[in-house]
């Protein structure tokens, strides 16, 4: 059986989520770096894996998979207990609901702050766009209330065990401090995030400071 390779740029939240998912699922994956700063994702060799020119990508022998959510689900299917991506149809749909929410709402909104306050500085792209940041603050105030209410009375988003929903949504708070993502007023989110970052898999793939 071929070993799973994960082609990632580890500092990215999308990369971190698949690395954490592999670790939480007990998958011993080979990590293959993709340097976004040198546009390695646009190279012919990488485009052969993902024609979109985006990481992460998964490679297992002749099998190639791109799109981070699909990769999360595939990695979780290797977990013996199947708690990250439950086999029960209703439980799986509940996790899927939050994965979709991350794609449509949470990830893009958190991404405003990481791009404006971190990426632009690293890439010499000028100062943060005040209007974009203001719009992000308005949106995350609404999304934060939704997530905070969902977490109340629960250890994790869908219950008492970590799932892909926690990994996908939690990874986008990787740079809460550096990007000043305004979630500090949401006590349940802060409690939940702290518990995630204390887990072995999350500490293993914490970004360098």
Same domain, 70 and 94: no
pLDDT greater than 80 at residue 40: yes
Task: Using a pLDDT cut of 70, give the percent of the chain over it.
Answer: 99
pLDDT tens, residue by residue, 165-181: 999 999 999 999 999 99
Q: Quick one: 146 and 94 in the same domain?
A: yes
Instruction: Please write the tens of the pLDDT for every residue from 93-117.
Output: 999 999 999 999 999 999 999 999 9
CATH number at residue 107: 1.20.1050.10
Does 192 share its domain with 108?
A: yes
Is 83 contained in some domain? no
For 10-35, write each residue's pLDDT tens digit: 999 999 999 999 999 999 999 999 99
pLDDT value at 209 more than 70: no
111 within a domain of the structure (yes/no): yes
204 within some domain: no
133 and 49 part of one domain:
no
> Looking at the predicted structure, is the pLDDT value of residue 73 above 70?
yes
Estimate to the nearest angstrom the gap between the alpha carbon of 27 and the chain centroid. 17
Number of domains within the chain: 2
CATH number of the domain that residue 25 is part of? 3.40.30.10
The per-residue b/e assignment along 60-96, b for 16 or more CB within 10 angstroms, e otherwise, is eeeeebbbbbebbbbbbebbeeebbbbeeeebbebbb
- Pick the last residue of a domain from 27, 47, 76: 76
Angle among Cα 172, 69, 61 to the nearest 5 degrees reads 125
Whole-structure pTM over 0.75, yes or no?
Answer: yes
Which residues constitute the domain of residue 122? 89-199
Helix axes 130-151, 187-197, angle to 10 degrees: 80
Q: Identify whether residues 113 and 61 lie together within a single domain.
A: no
**Residue 77 neighbours by CB under 8 Å, 6+ apart:** 85
d(CA 171, CA 46): 24
Which has more pLDDT, 209 or 126?
A: 126
At residue 131 the predicted structure's pLDDT band, cuts being 50, 70 and 90, is: very high
CA–CA separation, 81 and 85 (whole Å): 9
Q: Is residue 82 part of a domain?
A: no
């Amino acid at each position: 059986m071929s070993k799973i390779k994960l082609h990632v740029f580890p500092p990215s939240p999308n990369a971190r989520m698949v690395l954490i998912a592999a670790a939480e699922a007990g998958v011993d994956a080979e990590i293959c770096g993709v340097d976004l700063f040198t546009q390695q994702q646009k190279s012919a060799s990488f485009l052969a894996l993902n024609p979109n020119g985006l990481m992460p990508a998964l490679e297992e022998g002749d099998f190639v998979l791109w799109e981070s959510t699909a990769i999360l689900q595939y990695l979780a299917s290797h977990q013996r207990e199947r708690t990250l991506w439950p086999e029960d149809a209703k439980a799986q749909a509940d996790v899927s609901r939050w994965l979709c929410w991350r794609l449509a709402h949470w990830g893009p909104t958190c991404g405003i702050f990481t791009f404006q306050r971190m990426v632009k500085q690293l890439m010499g792209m000028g100062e943060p766009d005040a209007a974009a940041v203001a719009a992000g603050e308005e949106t995350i105030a609404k999304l934060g209330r939704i997530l905070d209410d969902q977490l109340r009375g629960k250890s994790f988003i869908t219950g008492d065990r970590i799932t892909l929903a926690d990994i996908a949504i939690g990874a986008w708070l990787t740079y809460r401090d550096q990007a000043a993502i305004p979630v500090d007023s949401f006590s349940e989110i802060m409690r939940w995030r702290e518990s995630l970052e204390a887990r072995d898999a999350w500490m293993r793939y914490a970004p360098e400071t």
